[in-house]
Chain A
Amino acid sequence: MKLLTHNLLSSHVRGVGPRGFPLRLQATEVRINPVEFNPDFVARMIPKVEWAALLEAADTLHLVEVPKGPIEGYEHDEKFLRQMHHVLLEVDVLEGTLQCPESGRLFPISRGIPNMLLSDEETET
């Protein structure tokens, strides 16, 4: 699971709503995958990124060189875009858990796939 996906994932447990974001990440196995750099895509995703959640996740994974926030004129700053590309798209969490901040419910991650299946009681009615 890439960090870009983690940054947008939210808990859909019943009654949680917007407080179900961000999911707290705990990783036991992480892999770095080289991915082709596409500056257009990275620039378009920057406004969607929730920085606090990203920094928290990067911290848990002990990543270095993570920009603290969007800088002025980031669309043309290749160094910034490359750093963001690495953080968002190249870091792959293979094993770990995601925790809903409101309900405390754990979503396990196995082989890079988070299990977001809810039980009957947790489903929104």
Chain B
Amino acid sequence: MAFRGKRPEHGGPPELFYDKNEARKYVRNSRMIDVQTKMAGRALELLYLPEGQPCYLLDIGCGSGLSGDYLSDEGHYWVGIDISPAMLDAALDRDTEGDLLLGDMGQGIPFKPGSFDGCVSISAIQWLCNANKKSDIPAKRLYCFFSSLYSVLVRGARAVLQLYPENSEQLELITTQATKAGFTGGVVVDFPNSAKAKKFYLCLFSGPSTFLPKPLNESNDDDEEVQESEFTRERVLYRMARRGIVRKSREWVLGKKARRRRQGEDVRPDTRYTGRKRRPRF
């Protein structure tokens, strides 16, 4: 928001970034309010809570209570955790209905097991991936967060965490720790082909594996590849997962051509001769 191109996590810890000035700007910026409210709505949609039932939800990184207000409007009760006192003060000024806690998600969620019917988080957990103190190990903090989250959720409940991952390694780090903690689920990417509108939602299930929701797309093309990466309790190395596709096979050729088309290159149309077996050269 403040630094164009530079990620705020690189500048220091969130409680210092979200000081009084930043908190004031955050609450007043109408574009920010719009985007955050939309994401809160989508996260709540992905939670698939039972219709018409008021639930007790956890909001991780609730900040000024923008997402919390959306939850309240939908008739739910919530508790928010945030590490920045300035943002929580802004939330108090906005008179949010949910309870607020000053806490560090990387230290664990201080609740009894089975307290919450669901969890949402908007634009918060990428802050866990950067070590701000010498003693911080991001993987440990992520594991502590996910394992305590698994415990405080009711069995079978879901957590939908919207985040801004810096790169695929970061996303992999996060999903590995979530799997270690016992969650199943995957990443739903809305509008994967748009740089601005692209949003990542990490959907985690604490019960038996259920279906992963369909991501949003600009053109509702049935042919277009659905971008989701499902993961289960079986730990498959990232490199191994790619080995399903054999290099130079027809599948691989078609995949490469589709990729280049998406990038806007001029690609020959696919026919029944695409990637066909050629006779050996020798």
A residues lining the B interface (CB < 8 Å): 1-2, 4-5, 8-12, 21, 35, 38, 40-41, 44-45, 48, 50, 89, 111-118, 120, 123-125
Contacts and interface: CB of A to CB of B under 8 A. Distances in A.
Interface of B: 53-54, 56, 75, 77, 79, 81, 83, 88-89, 92, 97, 99-104, 107-112, 114-115, 133, 135, 140, 144, 148
Contact of B101 (A38, A50, A114, A123): A114
Given A1-B99, A41-B77, A117 B104 contact: yes
Contact of A40 (B53, B101, B103): B53
26 contacts: A8-B111, A8-B112, A9-B111, A9-B112, A11-B110, A12-B107, A12-B109, A21-B112, A40-B53, A40-B54, A41-B77, A48-B114, A48-B115, A50-B112, A89-B77, A112-B92, A112-B100, A113-B101, A116-B101, A116-B103, A116-B110, A117-B102, A118-B104, A118-B107, A124-B144, A125-B140
B133 to A, nearest CB: 8
Given A12-B107, A38-B54, A124-B108, A114 B79 contact: no
A123 B111 contact: no
A106 B88 CA distance: 20
A1 B111 CA distance: 14
Contact of B115 (A1, A8, A35, A116): A8
Contacts of B115: 8, 48
A12 B110 contact: yes
Nearest to B115: A8
Nearest to A7: B112
A111 B83 CA distance: 15
A40 B49 CA distance: 15
A108 to B, nearest CB: 10
9 shortest A-B CB distances, which residue pairs? A116-B103, A41-B54, A12-B110, A12-B108, A8-B115, A5-B99, A115-B102, A113-B100, A10-B112
Contacts of B97: 35
A5 B79 contact: yes
A4 B54 CA distance: 15
A22 to B, nearest CB: 9
Contacts of A12: 107-110, 148
A116 B54 contact: no
